[in-house]
Chains A and B, each alone.
Chain A
Amino acid sequence: MVFPFTAIVGQEQMKLGLTLNVIDPGIGGLLIMGEKGTGKSTAVRSLAELLPEIGVSRGCAFNCDPDGTALCSICAERVVKEGALKRETKKMRVVELPLGITEDRLVGTLDIEHALKHGEKRFEPGILADANRNFLYVDEVNLLEDHIIDLLLDSAAMGQNSVEREGVSFSHPARFILVGTMNPEEGDLRPQLMDRFGLCVHVESIRDKNLRIEILKRRSRFDDDPDGFFESVQSDQQVLSDEIIRSREHLAKVDFSEEILAKIVGITTEIHVDGHRSDIVILRAAKALASFRGRNNITTRDIGDVVPLALNHRLKRAPFEDAGSGRKKVEELLKRLDQD
């Protein structure tokens, strides 16, 4: 049993980053940088626990969405043959990516022995198959082999895993919420890869004494009587879960003005962020946040709240420059945004 999400004290930025990604997985995942023992892993697992079950195509190794259009090769064939897919419901899971993973375990590969001995091509699903429509949690993403991160972020961006190797040609949807953690002291993540994560938060342990006591209290109540503790926060959990479902459905209705777009572009131009990804992410995240707050339009406040998450890891710096200077700039920009 995992500690309930709504009972986690503090770490608001991390919780916000996760929630926005759940509302709109298109945001592109969350990179959590920071200290050990700050509840990174707990937050992800408990959020998955809180979310409602998802409908999947029955018996499909790739958790295809029976109502969706993105289907794996097998389900697509089945739709053609049988007209519709049978469904079942499954709990969302947190699929973990082990550090020493190989390329073929990640993307899947041709079951070559089977192919050679029986003359049939059979696809052996990899971790990306498991991760479809789930969370993919990569602990210490900075220590992962370069080519693995490349592959991972590629399929995250495409929402699809296409395997073309050893004569097998197979593709299946791979839409997952990518959550990576890293401790920057143990190694760098190339800026190009960092950029692929939609949002990024820094977590630190809480220094406020009273909050820390509260953490201890809740933790000990949870450890003594997990069921009882769950019951006590059940209504909060339900509220959040409902909110998320509502926000997802409402998402398409959120609108934005030209003025808002100009503001976003203004910010990213001023601090010289490379590429367009940051603009797109800010807009998507602000949209998700507006929807979460029950509004039909994006406000300046929404933007102000998501900008730090979207720019934390995109601030440009020379290879050996310290990270602090850029962050100050963002803070100043946000202050100005408030005044406008």
Chain B
Amino acid sequence: MSFCKLVGHKDAKLALILNLIDPGIGGVLLVGDKGTGKSTLARAVPRLLPERVPYVEVPLNVTEDALMGSINLEEAIRSGEHIFQPGLLARSQGGVLYIDDVNLLNVDMLNLVLNKHAFGNTTLPGNLIPSNSDFGFSLVASMNPEEGPISPKLIDHFGLCALFQTPANNGEKLRVLRLSSQNDPAEKRFIRFDARLKERIALARKLLKQVEVPAEHRAYAVETCLESGIEGHRGDIALERAARAYAAFCGSSVVTKEHMKKVLPLALVHRRREAGINQEEYQEQELPERENSSQQEQADSNNNETPDRDSGNNCCEAAVKPQSVEGHSKEEVFPVGNPFDVRRLLFQRDWVERCSSGRRTNTRFSGKGGRYVKSVFNSKVNDIAADATLRVAAPWQIQRGRTRNVIVYDEDLRFKQREKKMGHLVIFVVDCSGSMGAKKRMIETKGAVLSLLMDCYHKRDKVSLIAFRKDRAEIILPPTTSVDFASRKLKEVPVGGKTPLSAALFTTSNLIKQIRIKDPLIRFVVAIVSDCRANQGISDMPVREEVSKSAAILRDARNTDFIVVDTEDKSTLMRMDLARSLASELHADYFTTEDLKAEYLAGLVFNRKL
């Protein structure tokens, strides 16, 4: 595919061109939905490279050896000499290195690539690898955010970032369709375009060093970054370098303000403070809704007072779009109640081998740490069980003609099976609807969640928080090991609006799916903290039915255990025990906030089925 033939995506093209002119910009990250042409464009980059300049793609399952190079083992055995086999990074030297789906690449590998890109030579453990080779390459990566998150720290390493969107106007879509079916003759025209562009880039590269950055524009770059509250200094640097490369591309020997402005979005779009943005969006979404919500809340509280409402009534509510009405918001932020010691929660062990740490549940361990439980025939790690191996080999020693050393054949080898404790990823799904505000129940609920969080801290679990209210469920805290941070988030959660339980269940299944792509072995615990009085749907289905269906989907998630903490007030006549039925649908452990406390059920052990 020709580079110029690809319709639209001017930003992305410009970013790629600038990065070719000055690889020191720090690489380009292409972000967009599936099928928007990220990879196609990235794979067209070789058309712009001079001949014999390498273009290397990094496969997702790449190993450290493959990246950094390794000793050619066969040669070493045959000739006894250490011959170095260059890795992908060395092979991309002076050219382009492309990583597709960079958010799915193992984080260690990505760190390696980014480090090499930033510092050239980092020293590697093991002295055999030549440390004088200098890797200079231009880095291109692409990702679809739907597939999973990538840490802001890693994103920050990329100099420029371009967003891919499906073109909104049909004209552009038509052009794409037309061009995709065209055959050879038109292709020639684009090949000419590509060749011209290639020349222009080569010229710009030569001009680059002579391009000057006037002081006032440098100041402009700094001011812009300061104003947008960007962390760190990489933004300033990328912005200046990109503007310079762009000036060179335009054949100008001085950077102008227009050059700066042109590249500004490319250099800063991915660096805006994440937490800050979320906060703003959060508020923005809330403001226009605020008026609507009061009506919902009224409806909600009415419902609470009429226990004999039927589910048919509910489904009507879900289908009807909220109308605007006068009145003020009942939104409130409740303090956190007193935490207590949580009773011991037990989860059955499974037979998956993992390489994780923590203190909750026993697991088979795939590394070399942990307790040696028994010896087995084969293992992925070269963790030989010497005792067992010797025991196997011993009876054959005479037949094998042993003189001094023990003679061990490959088939004698036995490996260690190890066991360790692991932590889980605990996803808290917390009901923040208006009904939770009644009688300050939210204070008690927050206390219960805090208690569970503290338990997670002791067991070294990872935690994540999903809050649901009004018409949506939101991940207010992506998985983290910082329980401290989670408890701060918990404090801030406001209460008000309807109860979109099915949305919460869906969001949870999606989160599990996303995380599993990266870490397929992780054990999840989903802790649903709610009275489960769902009254807001996400489709035209009756709300109850929708909840059952999404519960069924969630239940099928592998390696996942469920806990339902019922926050309903059990002392009144209005109890509906909907949480209990959700618990049975999910095959979950069911607790009221009272049962969670250690003293109530001390000594009583529930062994869960998986």
Q: Which residues of A contact B (CB under 8 A)?
A: 1-2, 35-39, 41, 45, 61, 93-96, 98-100, 102-105, 109, 112-113, 115-119, 126-127, 130, 139-140, 142-143, 145-147, 166-167, 183-188, 205-207, 209, 212-213, 215-217, 219-220, 223-224, 319-320
**With A113-B382, A209-B223 as contacts: A216 and B406 at CB distance below 8 Å:** no
> Is the Cβ of A185 less than 8 Å from the Cβ of B236?
no
A61 to B126: give the CA distance in the assembly, Å: 9
Most chain A CB within 10 A, of B153, B230, B450, is at B153
A140 to B24: give the CA distance in the assembly, Å: 25
Kindly state whether residue B480 has any CB partner on chain A within 8 Å. yes
Q: Which of B151, B223, B384 contacts A112 (CB 8 A)?
A: B384
> Is the Cβ of A205 less than 8 Å from the Cβ of B482?
no
Complex: chain B residue closest to A93, CB-CB: B123
Known: A99-B107, A117-B405, A185-B482. 13 other contacts (CB 8 A): A37-B231, A39-B233, A45-B119, A96-B115, A126-B125, A127-B125, A184-B482, A186-B153, A188-B481, A212-B226, A216-B236, A220-B244, A319-B454
Chain B: residues with Cβ within 8 Å of the partner, total of: 67
> Is the Cβ of A187 less than 8 Å from the Cβ of B480?
yes
- Chain B residues whose C-beta falls within 8 Å of the C-beta of A206 in the assembled complex: 233
> Is the Cβ of B151 less than 8 Å from the Cβ of A320?
no
> Is the Cβ of A99 less than 8 Å from the Cβ of B111?
yes
Report how many A-B pairs have Cβ atoms within 8 Å: 152
> Is the Cβ of A213 less than 8 Å from the Cβ of B218?
yes
- Chain B residues whose C-beta falls within 8 Å of the C-beta of A1 in the assembled complex: 120
- Chain A residues whose C-beta falls within 8 Å of the C-beta of B163 in the assembled complex: none
Q: Which are the 8 A-B pairs with shortest beta-carbon distances?
A: A37-B232, A187-B481, A119-B405, A37-B234, A35-B231, A212-B222, A145-B357, A36-B153
Q: Give 6 CB contacts A-B under 8 Å.
A: A39-B233, A61-B127, A96-B122, A186-B480, A212-B222, A319-B483
- Chain A residues whose C-beta falls within 8 Å of the C-beta of B231 in the assembled complex: 35-38, 205
Complex: chain B residue closest to A104, CB-CB: B368
A186 to B123: give the CA distance in the assembly, Å: 27
Q: How far is the CB of B299 from chain A (nearest CB, A)?
A: 36
> Is the Cβ of A116 less than 8 Å from the Cβ of B234?
no
> Is the Cβ of A212 less than 8 Å from the Cβ of B236?
yes
Complex: chain B residue closest to A45, CB-CB: B119
- Chain B residues whose C-beta falls within 8 Å of the C-beta of A113 in the assembled complex: 382, 384
B interface, over-half SS = helix
Kindly state whether residue B241 has any CB partner on chain A within 8 Å. yes
- Chain B residues whose C-beta falls within 8 Å of the C-beta of A212 in the assembled complex: 222, 225-226, 233, 236
> Is the Cβ of B240 less than 8 Å from the Cβ of A188?
no
> Is the Cβ of B123 less than 8 Å from the Cβ of A223?
no
Q: Which residues of B contact A (CB under 8 A)?
A: 24, 106-108, 111-112, 115, 118-120, 122-123, 125, 127, 151-153, 156, 209, 213, 215, 218-219, 221-223, 225-226, 230-237, 240-241, 244, 275, 355-357, 367-369, 382, 384, 386, 389, 404-406, 408, 413, 450, 454, 457, 460, 480-485, 487-488
- Chain B residues whose C-beta falls within 8 Å of the C-beta of A209 in the assembled complex: 219, 222-223, 226
- Chain B residues whose C-beta falls within 8 Å of the C-beta of A319 in the assembled complex: 454, 457, 483-484
- Chain A residues whose C-beta falls within 8 Å of the C-beta of B237 in the assembled complex: 215-216, 219
Q: Which of B152, B450, B454, B480 contacts A36 (CB 8 A)?
A: B152
Complex: chain B residue closest to A126, CB-CB: B125
**With A209-B223, A216-B240 as contacts: A103 and B369 at CB distance below 8 Å:** yes
> Is the Cβ of A166 less than 8 Å from the Cβ of B386?
yes
Q: How far is the CB of A187 from chain B (nearest CB, A)?
A: 3
> Is the Cβ of A116 less than 8 Å from the Cβ of B386?
yes
Q: How far is the CB of B227 from chain A (nearest CB, A)?
A: 11
Complex: chain B residue closest to A181, CB-CB: B153
- Chain A residues whose C-beta falls within 8 Å of the C-beta of B24 in the assembled complex: 223
> Is the Cβ of A102 less than 8 Å from the Cβ of B236?
no
- Chain A residues whose C-beta falls within 8 Å of the C-beta of B151 in the assembled complex: 186
Q: How far is the CB of B336 from chain A (nearest CB, A)?
A: 9
Complex: chain B residue closest to A98, CB-CB: B108
> Is the Cβ of A215 less than 8 Å from the Cβ of B111?
no
Complex: chain A residue closest to B420, CB-CB: A147
A36 to B384: give the CA distance in the assembly, Å: 41
**With A36-B152, A212-B226, A320-B487 as contacts: A220 and B119 at CB distance below 8 Å:** no
> Is the Cβ of A143 less than 8 Å from the Cβ of B481?
yes
A102 to B367: give the CA distance in the assembly, Å: 7
> Is the Cβ of A142 less than 8 Å from the Cβ of B384?
no
Q: How far is the CB of A269 from chain B (nearest CB, A)?
A: 27
